[in-house]
Structure formats: C-alpha cells, structure tokens
Amino acid sequence: MGFVTPDYGTIFWMLIIFGIVLFILKKFAWVPILKALKDREKSISDALNTAEKARKEVAGLKASNDQIIAEARREKDIILKEARDIKDKIVAGAKIQANAETLKSIENAKQQIIAEKSAAINEIKQQVAELSVMIAEIIIRKQLENPEDQERLVEDLLKDLKLK
Amino acid sequence: MTRLIRSFLIILLTAFLSTGINRANEPVIPVKEGEHAEKFDAGKFVIEHVSDSYEWHIATFGETHISIPLPIILYSSNQGWNFFMSSKFHHGHETYKNFRIEHEGKNEGKIVELNLEGNVVGLPIDLSITKTVAGIFVSVIVLLLIFLNIAKSAKRRVNQAPAGMQNFFEPIILFVRDDIARPAIGEKKFEKFMPFLLTVFFFILINNLLGLVPIFPFGANVTGNIAVTLVLAVFTFFITTFSTNKHYWKEIYNPDVPWWLKFPVPLMPIVELTGVLTKPFVLMIRLFANMLAGHLIVTVFVSLIFIFARLFGVEGGFGISVVSVLFSVFMLLLDILVSFVQAYVFTFLSAMYFGMASPDHH
C-alpha cells in the first residue's frame, strides 16, 4: 500500500465509522454538552445581572432614602419656620393686646381719677358749704344776740318781701 | 525552527528510504522463513511500521512473529464474498482460498487473486479491517467513552461546576467554540457547525495522541494515513459546499476583478474553482504528511540503533542508542505538540472555510 495512494477499503470504513461517530457524538454528546455549557453561562450571567440589578436597586434605594431625608429636613425647616412665624405673630399680637389693655386700664384709671376728683371736689364743696353754714350760724348767732339786731333783720327781710 | 528540524529529518529519512527501496529492487531477495529475521533492513522496518497492514504486528522474537490477526473481507467476481482472519496468510507467506498478499511488483502489499495454476488473475474488492481501520475503531471507542461520559455528567450536574473528566475536556471544548468556531465562522452561524468541528478536533487529537502510544491496541498510524485524512477533508468539503450562499458562488464565478481576467478566458473563475478543491486537498495533505513524518522519524531513530549495531558491532549499537533514545524522546514530545497543533489547524481551517462559504456582505 503506497503512502500517497488512498486505499479505498480504508476510505470505505472511515466514511462509515466517522459518519456514525459524528452522528452519535452530535446527538448524545455535543448537543447536551454545549447546551449544558450554554445553560451554565446563561445562569452565571443571569446571576451576575441580578446582582448588578440588586446593587443598582440598593443604590437607588439609598438615593431615594437621601431624597426622603432631604425632603424631611426641608419640611422640618418649613415647619420650624412656620412655628417661628406663628410665635412671632402671637408675641406681636400679645404685645399689641397688652398695649391696648394697658392703655385701656390707664384710661380707666384716668376716668376713675377724674371721677374721684370730682367726687372729692363735690365733697369739699359740701363740706365747705356746711362749714360756711356753720360759720354763718355762728356769725348770725353772734349778730343776733341783741334784740335790735333781730328786729332789724326781720324788717330787712320783710322789706325784701314787700318789694316783691 | 520546528519546520527546519523537520525538513532536515525528512531529507535524512528520504536517504534511508531510498536505500531501502534500492535494496528491495535488488534481485537477490529470496524471502524465506527464518532468513529475513536475521538481516535488518531499516527501510523495510520503517515503512512496515507506518504503513497499513492486514495484521497488527506487535513484536518479533527471533523467528516468531507476534501479531493480532485482523478480519479480511474480500469480494471477487469469481468467488463472491470471503471473510477470514489474516492469520490464515501466516504473516503473508501462504496462499489461502486463492488469495495472496503480494510482496513485490505493482500490487505490492495488496491482496491478489490467483487461479488454480497460481497466476495472478486480478484484484478482489478489498474491504478488510486493516490495522488502520482497527486503529480507527479503537480511537472511536475511546472517543465515545470519553464524551458520552462527559455528556452524562453534564446532564446530571446542571448549572454546577464541572467535575472529573468534564473538568479536563470542557476548556478544550470551550477553546474550540470560542477561539476557533466563533471568530472564524461568526456569531450567528457557528453553532450549527460545532458538532462537526468538535468531532473532527477530538478525532484527530485522540488519533494523533494514541498513535504515539507504542503499545497495542494503540499506536496505529491513523492520521498519518492518507485515506483517513481524505475522508476528513471530504467531510469538510461537503459541509462547506452545502452551506454556501450566493455571495460565495459570485466570488468564484464573477469575482470583482478587471473584466479581462474573466473574459474571453475565464482566468479568475478557473483559479477560484481550483481554490475550492485545493482547500480540502491541502487539509488532507497537511495532516497526513505531518503525522506520517512524526511516526517515520521516531521509527528511523530507533532503527539507527540496529544499523549502527550491524556496522560497528554491539558497542556501536549501544553507543548510538543513547543518542537515538534521546532524539526519539525529543521527537515524541515534539509530536505531542504537533498532535495538538495539527488538530487545531485542521479544525481552524475547516471553520475558516465554513465561515467563507457564507459571507455576509461584499
């Protein structure tokens, strides 16, 4: 058998054997092996993707947490500001009211003072009047101690009456 | 570098071969029992080791040949089908049922049919299980054992890390897929070629490696047999041809070259068509020649021992045996590398041809 002249018997057997082996290996070895490889690669890449997604989700959660915190802080600031405003308003209102109240009570006091004053003046007037009467009595009594004086007085009085 | 060494060794080898052939052409070769064992013929020894034969020769002790008989399957128009074991020929020395292994002339090494007077009347159709075919059977059994086992464990261990043999072969399978098929054929189409590429790769690889193991039932020179590489190349050729698209044929019959290269003499189409046939032809020759050369060189180094022993006595034989063994070991290691490289090259070129068969654009 020459080296470079292919032997047809060998070709015949090789064709049959290689054909059968190709078929068997394809059906029972390569397809399942390649499928297993592909499946494993897919599951690994899926797992990696899921991990990546989870990582992103966590990052997203963190971002949204930060956002929520920032919002809460902002809200807190607003509330505080509002509270301060309200406080200021209340204080201011209270001041105004207090002022008004003070003014009112001052006014009242003034009026009372005036009233008391006039009452006191009236009393003084009365007492002055009484005192005057008493003084006048005393004076009259002294003047009327002698009967002529009495008579002259009556006459004066009568004169007044007659004139009328 | 490898090529340099190799070509040097091939030149060396041709010298040996020619001496062997010259001696064979000398008229004084009466092949008688007992006599041929004493005289060592390097050329014959080397050729016998790498060529196909009807029996699987294991060893010779003195005059006793130890070999495994292989089935002979013959069909001739005179005698119809004939099945018998090659041991009936008694190592090629006897005629059985009017068949004989020819030892000289143009049918050397073939089985010829004789008539009752003992004259050659023709060649029967010979479908014998020769050493090469038996070697193919052995390697195929190994191949099936390995990969059916791997498939089983791949099916059992879904989405788990590979274990055992699967662990060893998976990187190679992935290499074939990701470094040969995917880049050469393209992402879209490579999957349908994977079974063939993997089968070819591992068939060649396992045959190459088993061919280096010098113990029965391994060591048959399978990938160094041109019939085997021819069948592999024919498979590549047909798969290429059946997966072509119109761009491929346009490139062949009407390539984008100046018109005068196509008309009136269709120069380029002829060149391109030749290319279609040369591609598988080159695949066939490359694998065959590389593996045959590897086997030849190792055998030649071994036979050097006996040549020197005859020329300079036993001391010469011992002296050269050290060198020979070292060189043989070196060549065997080189052949392990070559086994992988040739399996890779054959698969890669096949994949390239598949990829070129259905180009996407142009």
- pLDDT tens by residue, A66-125: 999 999 999 999 999 999 999 999 999 999 999 999 999 999 999 999 999 999 999 889
Asked if residue A62 belongs to a domain, the reply is yes
Confidence of residue B361 (pLDDT cuts 50, 70, 90): low
User: What percentage of chain A exceeds 90 in pLDDT?
Assistant: 59
pLDDT above 70 (res A164): no
* pLDDT cut 70: percent of chain B above it: 88
For B230, the closest of A2, A11, A34 (CB atoms) is A11
Instruction: Give chain B's end-to-end CA distance (angstroms, integer).
Output: 38
Q: What is the pLDDT of residue B137?
A: 92
In B73-132, the residues whose Cβ lies within 8 Å of chain A are 109-110, 126-130, 132
pLDDT band at A163 (very low <50, low <70, confident <90, very high): low
For residue B58, what pLDDT is reported?
80
Mutate to test the interface with A, among B55, B160, B228, B286 (most CBs of A within 10 A): B228
- Calculate ∠ Cα B227-B205-B243, nearest 5°: 65
**pLDDT of B37 strictly over 70:** no
For residue A112, what are the domain limits?
Answer: 23-125
Residue A28 covered by a domain:
yes
Structure tokens, A129: 């009047």
Chain A residue numbers touching B154 (CB-CB < 8 A): 32-33, 36-37
Is residue B2 within 8 Å of residue B22, measured between CB atoms?
A: no
Domains in chain A, number: 1
**CA distance to partner chain A, nearest, from residue B95 (Å):** 19
Q: For residues B114 and B123, give the distance between their C-alpha atoms in angstroms, rounded to a whole number.
A: 9
Match 């030649």 to its residue by tokens. Answer: B300
Q: Is residue A43 part of a domain?
A: yes
A63: in domain: yes
Question: What's the pLDDT at B357?
Answer: 87
What would the pLDDT profile of B75-98 be if each residue is shown by its tens digit? 888 888 888 888 888 777 778 887
- In terms of Cβ atoms closer than 10 Å to its own Cβ (0-12, 13-18, 19+), residue B69 is middle
List residues bridging with B114 in a β-sheet: B120
C-alpha distance across the termini of chain A, in Å: 194
In this complex, how many residue pairs, one in chain A and one in chain B, have their CB atoms less than 8 Å apart?
119
Domain contains A61: yes
What ipTM does this complex have?
A: 0.82
Pairing status of strand B64-69 against strand B80-85: unpaired
Q: Which residues of A touch B137 (CB under 8 A)?
A: 17
The helix (run of H) or strand (run of E) holding residue B173 is helix B165-175
| Chain B interface includes A13 (CB < 8 A) | yes
Q: What would the mean pLDDT of A5-28 be, rounded to a whole number?
A: 92
Give the pair of three-digit tokens for residue A27: 């059906």
What residues of chain B lie within 8 A of the CB of A28, using their CB? Answer: 148, 151
Which pairing describes strands B99-101 and B111-114: parallel, antiparallel, or unpaired? antiparallel
> Residue B207's pLDDT is what?
92
Choose the weakest-confidence range: A89-98, B50-59, B180-189: B50-59
User: Using one digit for the tens of pLDDT, what is the confidence trace for B119-144?
Assistant: 888 888 888 888 889 999 999 999 99
Please check whether residue B231 is in contact with residue A15, taking contact to mean a CB–CB distance below 8 angstroms. yes
Chain B residues with CB inside 8 Å of A12's CB? 127
pLDDT band with cut points at 50, 70 and 90 for residue B17: very low
Q: Is residue A144 part of a domain?
A: no
Residue A43 near chain B (CB below 8 Å): yes
Q: Is residue A59 part of a domain?
A: yes
| Rounded Cα gap, residues B64 and B91, in angstroms | 10
Å between A57 CA and nearest CA of chain B: 26
Q: Is residue A16 part of a domain?
A: no
Tell me the β-bridge partners of B60: B65
When scoring B74, B128, B169, B225 by the number of chain A Cβ atoms within 10 A, the one with the most, hence best to mutate, is B225
Residues paired with residue B120 on neighbouring β-strands, in sequence order: B114
Does A17 reach chain B within 8 Å, measured CB to CB? yes
Q: Which of A17, A33, A38 to mutate to test the interface with B (most CBs of B within 10 A)?
A: A33
B3 band by pLDDT with thresholds 50, 70 and 90: low
Residue A27 predicted with pLDDT over 60: yes
Q: Specify the pLDDT at position B85.
A: 85
Residue of B nearest to A6 (CA): B227
Q: Is the pLDDT of residue B22 over 70?
A: no
Report the C-alpha gap between B69 and B46 in whole angstroms: 21
Indicate whether B270 pLDDT > 60. Answer: yes
From chain B, pick out residues whose CB is under 8 angstroms from the CB of A47: none
Other Cβ atoms less than 10 A from the Cβ of B346: the count is: 26
Is pLDDT at B231 greater than 80 in this prediction?
Answer: yes
Residue of A nearest to B147 (CA): A29
